Chain A
């Protein structure tokens, strides 16, 4: 399959690949996909008290499009607000990477990963703020 230069660049030079401390209250971790389906994304967001995404890291098992989608999505949300990340739609990722139709699900997975990471962050915050 012929991929766009941008996709190949994200695959060959992934941005923000790595891990954040998943035990930290400031870090939300999203793990989506399934090994049996051939793609698993782990996305982590470090969020400040005023709702800014200070850092984002990913690790992905999957095809080139899945890896590029997760790399791109970390770049897109880093430095942005939680609201921005929440409203991010897969179409923006698919368009930016010129994903072929059979690979659109990779961008959907990246969107799901963001949502899952935010949900995890909220869960942690709620637990922290809950009266003992």
Chain B
């Protein structure tokens, strides 16, 4: 079968909308266009029914009750609402200390920085060279005045899976609110809020073949009650936690995406993706020297491969494999001119961070595409290493670290 170019291997950034999701959404843009808050006519009722069904579908995916789902504009908003809203509400009675991890998504880190501006103290936990944080680290960091802990389930760059259930148990025992950003994990591995001991959990539709612009925050009910402050005010939608007219078609799409994601978890789809990812890694290693896997090999999402191709700069690599869409932790791909802060937190050398490439496989990735990508990557690495003065030095037996480089 001929491979259609370009090939999309950047499924951590976003995923294509599943055609079945689109089909579910379409009637809600034209025919069923009502405002779900309109309680006095059939247009509103029909829209409301769509929203309710989707709430059930999304809740089911994470083992929650539909009453525990708050719609948001996406995971950035969910993280902001959970962390800022959770910390602000509970600061009054408990204190102003929050704990998170250095390798979190910017939506979490910047929410934490906002709290610092408001007088909170934030502890940013370090990770080990595998990218992992331990429940013991969390337990040791919790203080009398700690109001909230936020740890992501799976990392967006390296796919590393944190021990959420154990961290959640620590937080529950100490009576601290626990938020988890499960955006990358949901639909890839089982996510069950009860098993994970979480109080707040962020998810996003467009990372699981749903539409962009819609996310959800799970807010646990039951005792002790989890209280958070809203960040957006208005008509009192979503139990007053997130005002704004519900984006019914987006919500319906999210629901359908959640239903399909549940199928993936039991249909063998996850293993299919894991098989392709493993084959890619094995074949690359068989054909190329000096490859370094970034992050834990075992505690890792089945669709993630993050590799440093030593002596080959990441952006050049992406240009050389231009028919394959991937991401890089290289500085040259960021506005900041600093290489990935996630890789730096793992203790990855700056030199190697510049050479990292993230492959994100997905539901629509085929074996043929992986074969093509593997061949392209091998060709590109060989070509760019031939061109690399560093590779030449290494072949000549020169220790690159012994050279006095002038930073510029």
A59: contacting residue among B312, B332, B392, B400, CB under 8 A: B392
From 25 to 67 in chain A, residues with beta carbon under 8 angstroms from any chain B beta carbon are 31-42, 59-67
Total number of B residues with any Cβ neighbor in A under 8 Å: 29
Known: A33-B406, A36-B354. 12 other contacts (CB 8 A): A3-B319, A17-B387, A34-B406, A34-B408, A35-B351, A36-B407, A38-B332, A41-B389, A61-B388, A62-B313, A62-B316, A63-B313
From 376 to 399 in chain B, residues with beta carbon under 8 angstroms from any chain A beta carbon are 386-392
Q: Is the CB of B316 within 8 A of A32?
A: no
* B370 cross-chain contacts in A, Cβ below 8 A: none
Q: Main secondary structure on chain A at its contact with chain B? A: mixed
Q: Within the assembled complex, what's the spacing in Å between the Cα atoms of A32 and B350?
A: 17
With contacts A33-B405, A64-B319 known, is A38 near B354, CB below 8 A? yes
Q: Is the CB of B332 within 8 A of A34?
A: no
From 1 to 31 in chain A, residues with beta carbon under 8 angstroms from any chain B beta carbon are 3, 8, 11, 14, 17, 19, 31
Residue B73 at the chain A interface, CB threshold 8 Å: no
B281 to chain A, nearest CB (A): 24
Total number of A residues with any Cβ neighbor in B under 8 Å: 32
User: How many residue-residue contacts, CB under 8 A, span A and B?
Assistant: 86
Residue B8 at the chain A interface, CB threshold 8 Å: no
Q: Tell which of A35, A63, A108, A112 has the most Cβ of chain B within 10 Å.
A: A35
Q: Within the assembled complex, what's the spacing in Å between the Cα atoms of A17 and B384?
A: 11
Residue A122 at the chain B interface, CB threshold 8 Å: no
* B387 cross-chain contacts in A, Cβ below 8 A: 14, 17, 59-61, 67
* B319 cross-chain contacts in A, Cβ below 8 A: 3, 8, 11, 63-64
Q: Interface code B319-343, partner A: CB below 8 Å = 1, 0 otherwise?
A: 1100000000011100101010000
Q: Within the assembled complex, what's the spacing in Å between the Cα atoms of A40 and B312?
A: 11
B403 to chain A, nearest CB (A): 8
Residue A105 at the chain B interface, CB threshold 8 Å: yes
Q: Within the assembled complex, what's the spacing in Å between the Cα atoms of A40 and B387?
A: 11
Q: Is the CB of A63 within 8 A of B315?
A: yes
With contacts A14-B387, A34-B406, A102-B337 known, is A19 near B392, CB below 8 A? yes
